[in-house]
Amino acid sequence: MKILVVGGAGYIGSHFVLEASKKGNEITVFDDLSSGFKSNLNDNISFYKGSTLSKKELDLVMLSDNFDVVVHLAAFKAAGESMLNPGRYATNNIIGGLNLIESCVKNNIQNVIFSSSAAVYGTPQYTPIDETHPLLPINYYGYSKLIIEQNLKWYSKLKGIRYASLRYFNAAGYDSDFKKFQVESNPQNLIPLVMEVALESRDHLEVFGDDYATPDGTGIRDYIHVKDLAEGHLTSIDYIINYKKNLEINLGTGKGFSVLDIIKKTEIISNKKVNHVVSKRRDGDPDIVLSSSDKAKQLIGWSPTRSDLDNIIKSSWATYNYNMKANKL
């Protein structure tokens, strides 16, 4: 199968490219390298540098081969930043996403896999969250993802686009057999920040609140190993092509770990101290966020197999340690 991966040099994208390549697919990556790294890709991967904000560049790459499917992973992802600078997210995530959909229609590429987010749900009204949960995002990042989901529905009705919207929970971990992955330079998520503190490239971790209604007082989240996410993309591609149906599913584990769970596990695996200070709880942060992935299991036969906390932390530590020794941190 010929797959165009937009945003394929980033964290999730490069892991998907690696897994898809292993299964014999022909991969082309399109990325502006604003946060991704070309070094994350093997030498046999075709690469085009370009932006989803350029219709010309999108058309050029889509005309370069007869692609069976486009996997769209190119987006800004910091929820907090999106509330301070919504225009940046409107431009990159919404306009860029619409440009991509239009280019797919123009160049007769029918199948689209969209990297969405659990942020489309907003504050959980119940947990585990399933796909029938109301879509009420509470930050502009989640709103930008929902807008593209809604447009994929419209373009399916009007132009025959077939799509899968994959609602990730918290992507984590690395491929332990491929340690050359370059890690994010300005991480926003918990586990990368914990890794930096353990490596002493960051002074301490700020823990936002210890008064949650959880066993240790810190928030509990659902962490999904990035290789499990990659498998979810591949099985979703098979589903929309073979069954000729659209798909909207969660990709998570249904299990949760607290902030202190992450810190303690990292200290055990790294044999390093993770200095942290507790600060005020952030507005809008729920106590517990867990996913239900029953629909993914039923429709595409997907279940996470690598997302235990040991594997997530061990693979993260191995990759961050490699980057430190290679002077990339």
| Number of residues in the chain | 329
* CB 68, CB 230: distance < 8 Å: no
CA 57 from centroid of its chain's CA atoms: 24
**Helix or strand or coil: residue 184?**
coil
Q: How far is CA 292 from CA 118, 134, 167, 240, 312, in A?
A: 11, 14, 11, 21, 20
**Catalytic residue (choose from 11, 141, 212, 322):** 141
Q: What is the DSSP letter of 120?
A: G
As separate numbers, helices (DSSP H) first and strands (DSSP E) second, the chain gives 11, 14
Mark whether 163 is an active-site residue. no
Distance in angstroms (rounded) separating the CA atoms of residues 256 and 218: 12
Beta bridge partners of 270: none
* CB 223, CB 289: distance < 8 Å: no
CA 316 from centroid of its chain's CA atoms: 15
Distance in angstroms (rounded) separating the CA atoms of residues 137 and 118: 9
The amino acid at residue 160 is G
Residues serving a catalytic function are 141
